[in-house]
Chain A
Amino acid sequence: MDFPEYLSCPVPILTHDTVQLAHGAGGKLSNEMIDKIFLPRFSNTTLEKMEDQAVLENPGGRIAFSTDTFVVDPIFFPGGNIGDLAINGTVNDVAMSGAQPKFLSVAFILEEGLPFETLHRIVLSMEQAAKTAGIQIVAGDTKVVNRGSCDKLFINTTGFGFVPEDVNISASNLQLGDKIILSGTLADHGMAVMTSREGLSFQSTVRSDTAGLNHLVADMLAVSKNIHAMRDPTRGGLATSLNEFAMASSKGIQLYDDKIPVRDDVRGACEILGIDPLYVANEGKLIAVVPADVADSMVSAMRANPLGKDAVIIGEVTDKHPGLVTLATGLGANRIVDMPVGEQLPRIC
């Protein structure tokens, strides 16, 4: 697997090569790990104070607040790792309210024996993701658990930002005639992780799309603050997010099969494994439901941003079949896109 340039920073020299239980005990070793691994990468004036809490300025207005815990197997996958995923995931959850995420806390649960080299690589990509998103990491925590009590490492991130005035985005806001915009190709992340799992013997050009979407959201709000609903379709994929919209708003959603973009290699992987891209996780895509009169200019603005270059209108809100999502097929038929039952598994039939 190849890593970007910034990941080639030499690993800092510590007393141990791997994480020991003592690194989580709050003593000398804990401090050494914080000083050498975390602080140099996440540093800012708030964090450097090393207080028990971050004290932050409040500009007033509404706060968007979100937390998420990241467990992924494998921790490194084509296009990213658990680190940038953890930053981008929470950045996106906050951004889907229309807020610009400002501050983040990061908590690690490390498995005893985890090589510092691995941890260092993950922390470097977290630093990069935070920089790209323009957020500060202002609080953190680390715990070490016995070998076997966790799988290498788990990361929790919690973040918040401030919601601009006049922005009211909610899953229950869908209006008749609204257009559904998708910011790019589907299923990249889920298939990148699945094809790199042991046991599938795949070599694939499929890469995760993990990315922070907050700047893309800012570009969209510059076109119009009148975004009715927005979500990043992670676990459960597009189908799940849209079903949630349809149910929360008691409206129907009509999609068009031929409008939904999927990369060729991703589709190839989906076809072999028998997986429907509509149900696969994305980590750098969003769906927005907007009034028809702003949809086209919104799409143009999104296409000007590299993260929205494949943005496209994939469907609309209807008053038929409230609470259901349907997909028009090439043959002129219409099928129901249901909520998934459980996780997507490779199938043979």
Chain B
Amino acid sequence: MKYLDEFRDPVIAKRILDEIHRITTQPWVIMEICGGQTHSIIRNGIDQVLPKEIELVHGPGCPVCVTPLELIDQAIEIASRPEVIFTSFGDMLRVPGSHKDLFMVRSEGGDVRTVFSPLESLKIARENPNKEVVFFAVGFETTAPGNAMAVAQAAKEGLKNFSELVSHVLVPPAMEALLSSAKNRVQGYLAAGHVCTVMGWDEYTPIAEKYKVPIVITGFEPMDVLDGILHTVKQLEAGTYQVENRYARIVEEGGNQPAQALIRDVYEVSDRKWRGIGEIPLSGFKIRAKYADHDAELKFNVGDIKADEPEICISGVILQGLKKPHDCQAFGKECTPQHPLGATMVSSEGACAAYYKYQRILND
């Protein structure tokens, strides 16, 4: 596939890798923020072939894993209502709430459907005027333009039966939250390429300067990821801390302006809880009052459903690279990929899930 396969060329990838080996002189801790990059790292085994000095810490960059328990519980409450068609990206259906997941709601008779795009959800609303169609709008900045468009379009078409349960989170506040922690170990960041596609990168410059960390905007194919690591290490070795764009074929400095405009029109920045991290001020979006008709939280009055994460789970410190999964008492016992308790076990790329798989090799 054009513009995909070229970036998977093993010969060039190995050459970049070799360059990383050549320039690395001391230990560095680098965090890739984005779950998509974690996926690429694990799928291609990049972590296994890097110099042993380089430690990759998998960041919180997966909207599925960071969606807080109480939002899943709210989704389950809404999806269980007979008048509702609940639509969601496939990722969210398996994420456990306090007592069940959306799959179980479906098996109990709830109308829960997977969609690939929020516009599909809008189409379902058009075709089912007597039903309440709710879309589970999770995601980072990358997904926000689409989810905002669905709300704006519903308002324009007067589709009163369409609403969104919003759990949108923002990357830069989370980066800052991690960096400002007294125990922070992260020295360099691979920034999420597709988030920057939408938002650009001016938000990163003050962060890089304040915390003196290099931030390299990185793509997702093996060569992109290796290239991002190479340029992060280069900066670390040289003692510089700039924002560098290594995904220039896709990312422009200002990001996508029309997308940002519609996001601002539909959503406003709000405090958000992150599963595993806790509440981060101004780290997400909620629907603006002028679109309140399309806000499922208000429409179904589920805002007061609260839930706390299992106390035993230490995924928050794991996310920060401070502890390893087998430091957790529940690891492999109460908590497995089939029955995950915390964020880092929910996603197959999460640190706990990855260790769970890997541990089996170590035991042999």
A230-248 vs B: 1/0 string, CB under 8 Å? Answer: 0000000000000000000
B34-51 vs A: 1/0 string, CB under 8 Å? Answer: 011000001111111100
Is A347 a contact of B10 with CB atoms below 8 Å? no
Known pairs A332-B49, A336-B358; A347 contacts B13 (CB<8 A): no
A280: min CB distance to chain B, Å: 14
Is B14 a contact of A331 with CB atoms below 8 Å? yes
In the complex, chain B residues whose CB is within 8 Å of the CB of A335: 42-45, 48
Determine the distance from Cα of A321 to Cα of B357 in the docked complex, in whole angstroms: 12
B80-91 vs A: 1/0 string, CB under 8 Å? Answer: 000000000111
Q: Which of B116, B120, B337, B364 has the most CB of A within 10 A?
A: B116
Question: Which one of A264, A324, A349 contacts B361 once the chains associate, using CB atoms below 8 Å?
Answer: A324
In the complex, chain B residues whose CB is within 8 Å of the CB of A332: 14, 45, 49
B354: min CB distance to chain A, Å: 9
Is A345 a contact of B91 with CB atoms below 8 Å? yes
Query: A167: CB under 8 A from chain B?
Result: no
Question: Which one of B36, B89, B360, B361 contacts A346 once the chains associate, using CB atoms below 8 Å?
Answer: B89
Closest to A258 in B: B10
Known pairs A341-B337, A349-B91; A331 contacts B114 (CB<8 A): no
Known pairs A336-B360, A346-B114; A267 contacts B1 (CB<8 A): yes
Is B10 a contact of A338 with CB atoms below 8 Å? no
B110-137 vs A: 1/0 string, CB under 8 Å? Answer: 0001111100100010000000000000
Is A331 a contact of B45 with CB atoms below 8 Å? yes
Closest to B340 in A: A341
A212: min CB distance to chain B, Å: 32
A313-349 vs B: 1/0 string, CB under 8 Å? Answer: 0000000111110000111111110100110011111
Is A268 a contact of B1 with CB atoms below 8 Å? yes
Query: A201: CB under 8 A from chain B?
Result: yes
Is B116 a contact of A200 with CB atoms below 8 Å? yes
In the complex, chain B residues whose CB is within 8 Å of the CB of A61: none
Known pairs A331-B45, A333-B49, A335-B42; A347 contacts B91 (CB<8 A): yes
Known pairs A271-B4, A347-B91; A329 contacts B116 (CB<8 A): no
Find residues 118-167 in chain B having any chain A CB closer than 8 Å to their own CB. 120, 124, 139, 143
Known pairs A199-B113, A199-B116, A341-B337; A321 contacts B1 (CB<8 A): no
B242-273 vs A: 1/0 string, CB under 8 Å? Answer: 00000000000000000000000000000000
In the complex, chain B residues whose CB is within 8 Å of the CB of A267: 1
Q: How many residues of B contact A (CB 8 A)?
A: 44
Is A333 a contact of B45 with CB atoms below 8 Å? yes
In the complex, chain A residues whose CB is within 8 Å of the CB of B47: 333
Is A331 a contact of B116 with CB atoms below 8 Å? no
Closest to B362 in A: A321
Determine the distance from Cα of A349 to Cα of B348 in the docked complex, in whole angstroms: 11
Q: How many residues of A contact B (CB 8 A)?
A: 30
Query: B71: CB under 8 A from chain A?
Result: no
Closest to A197 in B: B114
In the complex, chain A residues whose CB is within 8 Å of the CB of B107: none
Find residues 1-42 in chain B having any chain A CB closer than 8 Å to their own CB. 1, 4, 8, 10, 13-14, 17, 35-36, 42
Determine the distance from Cα of A338 to Cα of B356 in the docked complex, in whole angstroms: 11
Q: Which of B46, B90, B120 has the most CB of A within 10 A?
A: B90
Query: B215: CB under 8 A from chain A?
Result: no
A278: min CB distance to chain B, Å: 11
Question: Which one of B1, B44, B91, B93 contacts A348 once the chains associate, using CB atoms below 8 Å?
Answer: B91
Is A331 a contact of B44 with CB atoms below 8 Å? yes
Is A333 a contact of B337 with CB atoms below 8 Å? no
In the complex, chain B residues whose CB is within 8 Å of the CB of A322: 364
In the complex, chain B residues whose CB is within 8 Å of the CB of A331: 10, 13-14, 17, 44-46, 49, 222
A290-332 vs B: 1/0 string, CB under 8 Å? Answer: 0000000000000000000000000000001111100001111
A344: min CB distance to chain B, Å: 8
Is A333 a contact of B120 with CB atoms below 8 Å? no
In the complex, chain B residues whose CB is within 8 Å of the CB of A341: 94, 337-338, 348
Query: B62: CB under 8 A from chain A?
Result: yes
Closest to A335 in B: B45
Determine the distance from Cα of A339 to Cα of B93 in the docked complex, in whole angstroms: 19
Determine the distance from Cα of A320 to Cα of B94 in the docked complex, in whole angstroms: 33
In the complex, chain B residues whose CB is within 8 Å of the CB of A320: 364
Known pairs A330-B8, A336-B361; A345 contacts B93 (CB<8 A): yes
B121: min CB distance to chain A, Å: 9
Is B44 a contact of A329 with CB atoms below 8 Å? yes
Is A334 a contact of B45 with CB atoms below 8 Å? yes
Known pairs A321-B364, A342-B94, A348-B139; A273 contacts B116 (CB<8 A): yes
Is A199 a contact of B357 with CB atoms below 8 Å? no
Is B48 a contact of A330 with CB atoms below 8 Å? no
Is A336 a contact of B44 with CB atoms below 8 Å? no
Closest to B87 in A: A199
Determine the distance from Cα of A322 to Cα of B44 in the docked complex, in whole angstroms: 22
Determine the distance from Cα of A342 to Cα of B91 in the docked complex, in whole angstroms: 12
In the complex, chain A residues whose CB is within 8 Å of the CB of B45: 329, 331-335
A203: min CB distance to chain B, Å: 14
Find residues 68-93 in chain A having any chain B CB closer than 8 Å to their own CB. none
A contact set with B: CB distance below 8 Å: 199-201, 258, 264, 267-268, 271, 273, 320-324, 329-336, 338, 341-342, 345-349
Besides A199-B113, A348-B91, 20 new A-B residue pairs in contact (Cβ under 8 A), listed by A number: A320-B364, A321-B364, A323-B360, A324-B361, A330-B10, A330-B44, A331-B44, A332-B14, A333-B47, A333-B48, A335-B43, A335-B45, A336-B357, A336-B361, A341-B94, A341-B337, A342-B94, A345-B91, A346-B90, A348-B139
Q: Could you give 14 example pairs across A and B, Cβ below 8 Å? A: A199-B115, A199-B124, A200-B120, A258-B10, A329-B43, A331-B10, A333-B45, A335-B44, A335-B48, A336-B360, A341-B348, A342-B103, A345-B114, A348-B89
The 7 closest A-B pairs by CB, nearest first: A333-B45, A345-B90, A330-B10, A333-B48, A347-B91, A329-B45, A346-B90
